[in-house]
């Protein structure tokens, strides 16, 4: 079926394909490129795809082109498509219609009838880029500025230029996207090559159970990123321009005890202390003193988390200058358990704090874990825990939009299998399809260095000692299993509806049983006692499930290498283990039985490793967050400044500073890369240096 582009009144392009007619509205009067475009399928299937917030533009467009609008707005099945370019699978790209006047839109239709459009202006470069992608994926009839791509012509070499970029990223996780977005804003031609069919890596939102139930496939609590100027100062306009909106629940955490009482962590320190004082005035007072002691130093350190880390020795020397700095150094050598015992008396406080500080996947009784008590207590009162409206993936969607709006390219289903190193310099990458993408200035890997150096780089390029040290990067103490539930109603805790005001809920057993969980983990045994982390995002954001329905995220610590059967055995036991976690939750929330659960999807540690090798050995946060793999020693000192022994090859992501989690840590890395490229990061941020200026 031929794709036919025809120009209608100045601001509408329509075309037909596979018996369907599509209309695109282009309104150049609007400022944001995203707002300029509306797309709608006007005939064919009842499923009308369009950006919900563009309805008012699309409806007049339909009238303009003389098509009958659907009878009522309610008949629209709202679906976002304004960033559909990034979701485009190039292998499926079959037809496109270009605005023949050299205007502002390139649109195409996949075989399955899904329409996509590029929000990038059609200059010869970008048009060639689109055409090149289409040509490479074997599409016929692709036109670029009206001209077919004919092998051997100047136009073809123009297209081939599209396979070269200034900076090529391997992986489009949120860290890679962050770094790429800053670069693109500075006018650097970036290309992100992403193996998966969606951008965002471990920050994604998908219908993992039933249609309309939007689960976070990876990270869900956006805590540390709130301190990052990326969000705090909206440096890339993710909130003001690219559609990201945070919701901040009233309380970040609630620890629920077997006697159906609870401890709440609010951003407000006074309210938190009041909650602790209900069972221990002594601990409430100690908590406040601990906060007062740690806050000034952590405030100072927090600003450094989003820039390259200082050398470890220099950092220690500086900390050693003050009593509170010395206390921080001591905490790096103590366990959180030791510290908690020095400060607090009540079991409930001890359980709460030693659970809270294990979020980085370090056991609270391991030496060095004390630093997380030192850092996490003040941080939780300095910044609110947020969740993006619509799901975690809205962060990475906004980042992707930002990259594209500044002229960057994101290619999905593009698996890198090799890094091309010539004369000690990274010059490009090879895709599984056999295609080579060249990097004029740098290659940046968003993937764990253990994978990169073992699988993608010829061994002779680095020394055997270096490879040994990379292979010896340590996993975290434990990993986790997750289950995503589609529910009729939210968990109803025996502790009462007050629990619903918290985002993360931690139902815990009493202290001795709780401590034994970590003994089992040490021995590779799925803990007999379960203490899950429960999140019901729909209580705070009802857009994530059909009317009145709910979703739950049910996470539990488990070992990677099972004593009995190794990691491979996860395929056999994951359902049983998930059932046990659910049964533990039922003791606190009795309505979590089969009658309430509409559907469930379980992800074991092995599933995570398989779905994204950057979650190496199932580690949600990358290499272990122990102090010898932190700051400028993350993951090892030789790689601690995002550079590698190979010239122009850089690392970004949770295996580098500031470590695992939704941090936007790519902001730190990109400052190093920009400095090497001769770009002033501060000017980019302040807007003095703008892309395409």
Ligand X SMILES: Cc1cc2nc3c(=O)[nH]c(=O)nc-3n(C[C@H](O)[C@H](O)[C@H](O)COP(=O)(O)OP(=O)(O)OC[C@H]3O[C@@H](n4cnc5c(N)ncnc54)[C@H](O)[C@@H]3O)c2cc1C
* Cβ atoms of 149 and 155 closer than 8 Å: yes
Q: Is 44 helix (H, G, I), strand (E, B) or coil?
A: coil
Q: How many residues bind ligand X (CB under 6 A)?
A: 37
Task: Supply the minimum distance, in Å, between the C-beta of residue 226 and ligand X.
Answer: 10
- Contacting ligand X (CB under 6 A), which of 107, 172, 244, 669? 172
- Contacting ligand X (CB under 6 A), which of 3, 38, 171, 658? 171
* Cβ atoms of 159 and 144 closer than 8 Å: yes
Instruction: Pick the closest to residue 693 from 103, 182, 28, 187 (CA basis).
Output: 187
Task: Supply the minimum distance, in Å, between the C-beta of residue 571 and ligand X.
Answer: 18
- Per-residue binding string, ligand X, 498-517, x by CB under 6 A, is --------------------
Q: Is 372 helix (H, G, I), strand (E, B) or coil?
A: helix
Using rule CB under 6 A, residue 176 touches ligand X: yes
Q: Which part of the chain contacts ligand X (CB under 6 A), choosing from 172-180, 398-406, 577-585, 639-647?
A: 172-180
Q: Which part of the chain contacts ligand X (CB under 6 A), choosing from 3-11, 154-162, 235-243, 617-625?
A: 617-625
Give, in order, the Cα–Cα distances in Å from 470 to each of 34, 241, 640, 668. 43, 40, 12, 22
Q: Which part of the chain contacts ligand X (CB under 6 A), choosing from 154-162, 188-196, 244-252, 487-495?
A: 188-196
Give, in order, the Cα–Cα distances in Å from 206 to each of 116, 213, 280, 391. 19, 8, 42, 9
- Contacting ligand X (CB under 6 A), which of 5, 134, 203, 505? 203
Burial class (CB in 10 A: 0-12, 13-18, 19+), 411: buried
For residue 171, give every residue at least 6 positions away whose Cβ sits within 8 Å of its Cβ, in sequence order, or none: 192, 193, 194, 195, 201, 416, 445, 446, 447, 614, 653
- Contacting ligand X (CB under 6 A), which of 3, 173, 407, 476? 173
Using rule CB under 6 A, residue 661 touches ligand X: yes
**Nearer to ligand X among residue 328 and residue 410 (C-beta):** 410
Using rule CB under 6 A, residue 584 touches ligand X: no
**212 to 251, contacts with ligand X by CB under 6 A?**
218-221, 223
Cα separation, 415 vs 432, in Å, equals 6
Q: What is the 3-state secondary structure (H, E, C) of 576-632?
A: HHHHHHHHHHHHHCCCCCCCCEEEEEEECHHHHHHHCCCCHHHCCCCCCCCHHHCHH
Using rule CB under 6 A, residue 620 touches ligand X: yes
- Contacting ligand X (CB under 6 A), which of 84, 118, 119, 175? 175
**Nearer to ligand X among residue 104 and residue 614 (C-beta):** 614
Cα separation, 598 vs 183, in Å, equals 44
For residue 50, count other CB atoms closer than 10 A to its CB.
25
Cα separation, 492 vs 636, in Å, equals 45
- Contacting ligand X (CB under 6 A), which of 27, 53, 415, 475? 415
Q: Which part of the chain contacts ligand X (CB under 6 A), choosing from 12-20, 165-173, 315-323, 509-517?
A: 165-173
Using rule CB under 6 A, residue 621 touches ligand X: yes
- Contacting ligand X (CB under 6 A), which of 194, 235, 500, 558? 194
Q: Which part of the chain contacts ligand X (CB under 6 A), choosing from 179-187, 515-523, 559-567, 652-660?
A: 652-660
Element (DSSP H or E) covering residue 206: strand 205-206
Residue 118, token pair as written in the block: 């590029």
Using rule CB under 6 A, residue 370 touches ligand X: no
For residue 257, give every residue at least 6 positions away whose Cβ sits within 8 Å of its Cβ, in sequence order, or none: 263, 348, 351, 508, 510
Using rule CB under 6 A, residue 174 touches ligand X: yes
Using rule CB under 6 A, residue 411 touches ligand X: no
Using rule CB under 6 A, residue 475 touches ligand X: no
Residue 573, token pair as written in the block: 């036991």
Task: Supply the minimum distance, in Å, between the C-beta of residue 86 and ligand X.
Answer: 12
Cα separation, 299 vs 227, in Å, equals 9
Using rule CB under 6 A, residue 159 touches ligand X: no
Q: Which part of the chain contacts ligand X (CB under 6 A), choosing from 340-348, 537-545, 570-578, 612-620?
A: 612-620
Chain contacts with ligand X (rule: CB under 6 A) = 170-176, 193-196, 201-203, 218-221, 223, 415-416, 446-447, 482, 608, 612-615, 620-622, 653-654, 660-662
């Amino acid at each position: 079926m031929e794709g036919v582009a025809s120009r209608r009144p100045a601001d509408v392009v329509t075309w037909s394909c596979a018996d369907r007619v599509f209309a695109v509205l282009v309104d150049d009067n609007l400022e944001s490129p995203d707002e300029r475009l509306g797309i709608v399928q006007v005939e064919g299937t009842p499923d009308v795809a369009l950006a919900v917030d563009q309805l008012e533009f699309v409806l007049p467009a339909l009238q303009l082109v003389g098509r009958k609008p659907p009878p009522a707005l309610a008949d629209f099945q709202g679906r976002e498509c304004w960033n559909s370019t990034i979701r485009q699978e190039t292998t499926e790209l079959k037809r496109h219609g270009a605005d023949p006047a050299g205007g502002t839109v390139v649109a195409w239709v996949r075989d399955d009838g899904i329409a996509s459009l590029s929000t990038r202006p059609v200059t010869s470069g970008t048009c060639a880029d689109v055409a090149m992608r289409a040509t490479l994926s074997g599409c016929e009839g692709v036109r670029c500025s009206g001209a077919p791509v004919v092998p051997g012509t100047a136009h073809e070499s123009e297209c081939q230029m599209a396979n070269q970029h200034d900076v090529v990223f391997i992986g489009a996780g949120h860290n890679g996207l962050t770094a790429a977005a800053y670069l693109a804003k500075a006018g650097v031609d970036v290309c992100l090559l992403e193996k998966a069919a969606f951008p965002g890596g471990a920050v994604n939102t998908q219908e993992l159970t039933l249609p309309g139930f939007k689960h976070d496939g990876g990270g869900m609590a956006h805590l540390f990123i709130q301190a990052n100027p990326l969000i705090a100062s909206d440096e890339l306009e993710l909130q003001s321009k690219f559609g990201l909106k945070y919701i901040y629940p009233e309380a970040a955490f609630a620890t629920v005890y077997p006697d159906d009482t609870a401890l709440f962590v609010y951003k407000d320190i006074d309210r938190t202390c009041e909650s602790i004082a209900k069972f221990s005035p002594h601990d409430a007072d100690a908590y406040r003193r601990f906060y007062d002691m740690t806050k000034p130093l952590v405030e100072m350190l927090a600003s450094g988390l989003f820039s390259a880390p200082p050398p470890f020795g220099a950092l220690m020397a500086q900390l050693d200058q003050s009593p509170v700095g010395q206390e921080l150094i001591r905490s790096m050598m103590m366990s959180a358990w030791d510290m908690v015992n020095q400060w607090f008396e009540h079991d409930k406080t001890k359980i709460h704090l030693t659970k809270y500080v294990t979020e980085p996947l370090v056991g609270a009784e391991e030496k060095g874990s004390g630093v997380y008590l030192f850092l996490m207590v003040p941080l939780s009162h300095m910044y609110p825990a947020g969740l993006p409206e619509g799901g975690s993936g809205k962060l990475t969607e906004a980042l992707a939009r930002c990259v594209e709006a500044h002229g960057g390219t994101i290619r999905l289903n593009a698996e890198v299998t090799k890094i091309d190193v010539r004369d000690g310099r990274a010059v490009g990458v090879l895709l599984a399809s056999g295609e080579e993408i060249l990097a004029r200035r740098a290659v940046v890997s968003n993937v764990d260095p253990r994978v990169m150096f073992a699988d993608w780089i010829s061994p002779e390029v680095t020394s055997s000692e270096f490879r040994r040290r990379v292979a010896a990067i340590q996993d975290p103490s434990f990993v986790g299993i997750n289950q995503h539930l589609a529910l009729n109603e939210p968990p109803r805790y025996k502790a009462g509806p007050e629990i619903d005001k918290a985002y993360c809920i931690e139902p815990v057993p009493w202290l001795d049983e709780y401590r034994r969980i970590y003994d089992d983990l040490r021995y590779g045994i799925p803990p007999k006692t379960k203490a899950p982390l429960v999140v019901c995002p729909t209580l705070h954001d009802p857009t994530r499930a059909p009317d009145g329905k709910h979703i739950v995220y049910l996470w539990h610590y488990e070992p990677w290498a099972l004593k009995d059967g190794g990691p491979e055995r996860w395929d056999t036991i994951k359902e049983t283990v998930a059932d046990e976690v659910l049964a533990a939750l039922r003791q606190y929330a009795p309505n979590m039985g089969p009658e309430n659960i509409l559907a469930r999807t379980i992800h074991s540690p092995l599933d995570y490793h398989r779905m994204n090798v950057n979650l190496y050995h199932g580690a949600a946060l990358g290499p272990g967050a122990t102090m010898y793999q932190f700051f400028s020693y993350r993951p090892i000192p030789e790689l601690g400044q995002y550079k590698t022994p190979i010239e122009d090859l850089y690392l970004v992501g949770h295996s580098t500073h500031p470590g695992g989690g939704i941090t936007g840590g790519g902001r730190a890395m990109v400052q190093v890369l920009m400095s090497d490229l001769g770009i002033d990061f501060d000017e980019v941020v302040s807007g003095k240096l703008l892309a395409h200026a």
